[in-house]
């Protein structure tokens, strides 16, 4: 990084503000078609729970504005997911001036793998984790006198928290790659802290998984542990 590349605090703040404005505008742009196709998105989003609804159960809303507000939230979530590659690019663009020229060349790798890992985590959650969570929560506590009538707002909020949690968790290998690339971590350091990493991963899985069943928590814990081991390998390859 040359002297000419160094930015003042005001210049850094200006770059950050421009990136933030660009992201907000793009979220709005993608929000419009997402809201237009809200019925299709709602049907798709409710698929994991519909397949696991107990007999005689229905998804309901209890407030006049709840249907509208839930569709707005779903459209925004869809817009956020679509915009993820651009968000990753803007974050990378912000930190890029602090890197050396050879590190800047990894821009395409960061954007591609960052986006791919997020989408992979979201898809993994939607296909495997969400159905198991809904099946357990809705059927385990339903009996002859108790019938589940899930609230649409809570249901979409629950699904959103799951998807975003898994999308972010799946970014872990890329984070380790970047940290090892700039010398903030190493394979030896990661290997020596393995037992602490497993403990922290267990706690995070219990906190981030908004369910009470062990199976759903394991769906997050196992990838975290696997990613940690992959991170050790990545850090080792970067040091070679």
The 10s digit of each residue's pLDDT in 134-181 is 888 888 888 888 888 999 999 998 888 888 888 888 888 888 887 887
181 neighbors 103 (Cβ within 8 angstroms)? yes
Confidence of residue 70 (pLDDT cuts 50, 70, 90): very high
Cβ partners under 8 Å of residue 238, min gap 6: 177, 180, 181
In the block, residue with structure tokens 């986006």: 115
Q: How many CB atoms lie within 10 A of CB 4?
A: 6
Q: Given pLDDT bands bounded at 50, 70 and 90, which one contains residue 68?
A: very high
Report the residue count for the chain: 240
Domain boundaries, the chain: 3-170
Phi, psi (deg, nearest 5) at residue 35: -70, -35
Q: Are 164 and 173 in contact (CB under 8 A)?
A: no
């Amino acid at each position: 990084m040359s002297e000419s590349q160094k930015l003042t605090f005001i210049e850094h703040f200006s770059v950050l503000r421009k990136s933030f404005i660009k992201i907000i505008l793009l979220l709005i742009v993608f929000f419009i078609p997402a809201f237009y196709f809200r019925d299709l998105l709602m049907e798709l989003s409710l698929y994991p729970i519909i397949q696991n609804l107990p007999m005689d159960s229905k998804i309901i809303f209890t407030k006049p504005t709840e249907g509208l507000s839930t569709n707005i939230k779903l459209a925004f979530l869809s817009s956020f997911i679509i915009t993820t590659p651009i968000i990753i690019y803007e974050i990378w663009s912000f930190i890029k001036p602090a890197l050396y020229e050879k590190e800047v060349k990894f821009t395409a790798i960061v954007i591609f793998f960052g986006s791919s890992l997020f989408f992979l985590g979201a898809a993994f959650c939607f296909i495997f984790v969400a159905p198991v969570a809904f099946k357990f929560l809705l059927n385990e506590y339903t009996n002859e006198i108790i019938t589940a009538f899930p609230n649409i707002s809570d249901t979409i909020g629950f699904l959103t928290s799951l998807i975003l949690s898994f999308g972010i968790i799946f970014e872990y290998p890329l984070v380790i790659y970047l940290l090892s690339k700039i010398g903030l971590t190493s394979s030896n350091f990661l290997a020596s802290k393995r037992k602490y990493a497993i403990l922290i991963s267990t706690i995070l899985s219990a906190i981030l998984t908004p369910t009470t069943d062990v199976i759903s928590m394991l769906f997050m814990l196992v990838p975290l542990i696997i990613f940690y081991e992959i991170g050790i390998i990545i850090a080792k390859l970067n040091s070679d």
